Chain A
Amino acid sequence: MIKNDTLSRVLYIDLSKMKSFVKDRKDLFEKYLGGTGVATQLLLEECPEGIDAFAPEAPIIFAVGPLTGAFPLASKTCAMFKSPHTGDLGESHAGGRSAIAIRMAGYGAIVIKGKSEIPIYLSISNGKVLFKNATTLWGMKDGSIAARVMRQSEGGEGLRAIFRIGQAGENMATFANVTTETYRHFGRLGLGAIFGSKMLKGIVISGKQMIEVANKKEYRSLYDQIYKAATELPVMKKYHDVGTAININSLNSAKALPVKNLQMSSTEDIKAVTGEEIAKHHLARRVACAHCPVACIHLAYLREAYDDDPYFYKTIPVCYDFELIYSLGTMVGITEPKALLKLIDIVEQVGVDAMSMGVILAWITEMFEKNMITKDDLNGISISWGDVEGYIKLVKNISKPATDFLKACAHGVDYASKIYGGKEFAMQFGKNEMPGYHTGPAGYLGFLLGARHSHLDNGGYSIDQKELIKVDLSPEQVVDKLLDEEAIRQILSSIAVCFFARGIYELKLVSEAIKLLGFDLDENKLHEIGKQIHLNKYKFKMREGFRIEKLEVPERIYETPDPTGKITKDFIKSGLDYAKNLIN
């Protein structure tokens, strides 16, 4: 890397001692680039084996990449931690201004350990870390208010990121998230709960430094090439126009969209919540992450009347995308857009992973329908498919649980179903609640084998839709493809670009771009590094007790029709057996 690049500066913060220091870790960045690659190594270094995810010694790690602040779409921050939700690797990516702000503040990674005795937030700028008292922000029912206070108290407008948790994080619901810039999230696997366990309400970070490049002329020329691709290529148009929500219609038509806890894989009642219809009637504004011209963030405005006063309204901006329409829409039987937006809004307020929450709500509904739980378990709430007011109450109750059953739900659907039954329709994979892709066996193998149990680890759903729907592949072939793709995605999340830009940032281009930041690595070498990063992640997972043979698959996936017709127990088992031999 380039000699003076601040990328290799790692900021270590100890919340117990209220101290911070910076260490140069060129060793890590030169070997693993940044982002996921570096964060994995820092996690292996900093996280004591077998530790409770909520112990003060358990670290939170953020890392950005060499391309952050230099090229468009390299705007992701990788967060790593021991997941309180799964007990193994916690990895979550967010955009907004998070990555740009960390890089521009002069750091490549941040490691936070310890636990504060009082609620605090961190203010990081101009080379200083300030520990600010956040007692007054603790316990607010809407997390966005805390963010507003931090916004008004701190400087760096336009150049800062504001991370914060909501009430669910404070109460350590294991799927609580961290929100940045109001609408972006470190969504999956419970980073918000780790913040809560450390009494860390939020972080404000800003800066505007220079990043030196190796060749100014080539830099500008390559920049223009990538910028042109980002703004003109059809592959980016989907994210730019209707957004990911465009997939609702196609997945529903293909019978790949989970409906009512995947009792069905499509619904006739879909029209009003398709991406096209929501855009037509509710889309109010599109916004972008810093240094990304695509602007894929879609905000709808929800106008609601107050019952007690005529001509008195509130208008709430609500961010939506494919995953939210699935998890808080079709998965719980909501197909009316205003109801959907209301449910999304409360989920944002309490600060939880929307996918996990939707799957949990769906499982609760089925449990209640089957009389496996009572109204008392739900703190007096009756629930049925599509009942938005009931779901809003449940979201609040799970974030601040009063009954044993709701407390169990705050640990996720795997944990709760082990106590209360209903495992066969508890839609979790590796203890993480499913995303909205009932596309075929590759999707499910992808969720099970992906290092962080995300549909974005390896794009298994894409193998289903592009290949398995037309041709036969053996389980072994599918696993090989998944692992190969995962190695490539480790590179993308290490440099660290948005996966939406994977059609632009092919390894050849990555090699050219990082060369301008002083990394001399060809495509083959990058592929090798990707494989190594993937192995390192598995090293952490195995160390913390993850075993492929322990994975449990809900029966429901074998019962509900899918587009390939190939989701069988044999296929999944053969795939897992094959992967076990490769990985173990």
Chain B
Amino acid sequence: MKLSVKDVMRCVGCQSCMFACSRRSGNAGLSNTCIGVKSTGGISRGYTVIVCRSCENPPCANVCPTGALVPKEGGGVRLISSKCIGCGLCKDACIIDAVFWNEEQNKPVICVQCGYCVDYCPYEVLELITDKKGVSHD
């Protein structure tokens, strides 16, 4: 399964998805979110929704010096937190800024493609799609 932005033009910027993602950990706030919603140069121009695209040859994993980010079959990465030294190279390597950062733990937060956020988007901006090949979907 893969998280995808179905129609970014429907986004109203409520950030319910971001709060949902962080809430998976059980607590409130935004520290664990790995989805990002920001305005596209001002609210009137609409929003940019940033989700991990589950790259097949992920640049974030390629630059990890400790092997903490492990590429998954079909795309995307898995974080082995105990190996991560918090250097932030993965964050810099992702050109769409989809490697988010937990400031409190000084470690990346990586989308696990669970789709929890999808259920909290009231405007059908997000969807979870089946794609074993990791083909791009916006």
Residue numbers of A with Cβ under 8 A of B are 69-72, 100, 103-104, 126, 148, 151, 157-159, 181-183, 208-213, 216-217, 219-220, 223, 227, 231, 285-295, 299, 317
Contacts and interface: CB of A to CB of B under 8 A. Distances in A.
B16 interface: yes
A209 B103 contact: yes
Interface in B1-17: 12-16
A286 B31 CA distance: 27
B23 A208 contact: no
B24 to A, nearest CB: 9
B44 A210 contact: no
B42 A148 contact: yes
Given A157-B39, A293-B14, A293-B122, 13 more contacts: A69-B28, A209-B104, A210-B29, A210-B30, A210-B104, A213-B28, A219-B23, A227-B120, A287-B43, A291-B14, A291-B16, A294-B14, A295-B12
B33 A290 contact: no
Contact of B38 (A70, A157, A213): A157
B12 A209 contact: no
Contact of A208 (B30, B37, B42): B30
Contacts of B23: 219-220, 223
A148 B45 CA distance: 13
Contacts of A227: 16, 120
B29 A211 contact: yes
A40 to B, nearest CB: 25
User: How many of chain B's residues touch chain A, expressed as a range?
Assistant: 20 to 34
Given A210-B27, A210-B28, A216-B26, A291 B46 contact: no
A287 B26 contact: no
User: Which residue of B15, B26, B42, B46 has the most chain A CB atoms within 10 A of its CB atom?
Assistant: B15
Contacts of A294: 14
A286 B14 CA distance: 11
A216 B37 CA distance: 25
B12 to A, nearest CB: 4
B31 A213 contact: no
B15 A287 contact: no
B46 A285 contact: yes
A456 B81 CA distance: 49
Contacts of B43: 181-183, 287
B92 to A, nearest CB: 15
A231 B27 contact: no
**4 smallest beta-carbon distances between A and B, as pairs:** A158-B38, A216-B26, A317-B44, A288-B14
Contact of A159 (B13, B26, B30, B123): B30
Interface of B: 12-16, 19, 22-23, 25-33, 36-39, 42-44, 46, 103-104, 120, 122-123
Contacts of A126: 103
Nearest to A294: B14
A261 B28 CA distance: 47
Nearest to B32: A210
B16 A211 contact: no
A103 B30 CA distance: 10
A291 B15 contact: yes
A489 B33 CA distance: 32
B110 to A, nearest CB: 16
Contacts of A293: 14, 16, 120, 122
A212 B44 contact: no
Given A72-B16, A227-B16, A104 B30 contact: yes
Contact of B29 (A72, A104, A183, A288): A104
10 contacts: A70-B29, A157-B39, A182-B44, A208-B29, A208-B33, A209-B29, A210-B32, A227-B120, A288-B13, A290-B15
Contacts of B26: 213, 216-217, 219-220
A213 B31 CA distance: 14
User: Which residue of B27, B44, B122, B123 has the most chain A CB atoms within 10 A of its CB atom?
Assistant: B44
Contacts of B122: 231, 293
B10 to A, nearest CB: 10
B104 A286 contact: no
B27 A216 contact: yes
Contacts of A317: 44
B27 A288 contact: no
A213 B22 CA distance: 13
B38 A287 contact: no
Contacts of B22: 210
Given A210-B104, A216-B26, A287-B13, A158 B31 contact: no
A385 to B, nearest CB: 30
A286 B13 CA distance: 9
Contact of B27 (A103, A213, A292): A213
Contacts of B123: 295
A70 B22 CA distance: 10
B14 A292 contact: yes
A291 B27 contact: no
B30 to A, nearest CB: 4
Contacts of A217: 26
Nearest to B121: A293
A209 B13 contact: no
B31 A208 contact: yes
Contacts of B37: 158
B40 to A, nearest CB: 10
B27 A158 contact: no
A319 B32 CA distance: 33
Contacts of B12: 286-288, 295
Contacts of A295: 12, 14, 123
Contacts of A209: 29-31, 103-104
Contacts of A213: 26-28
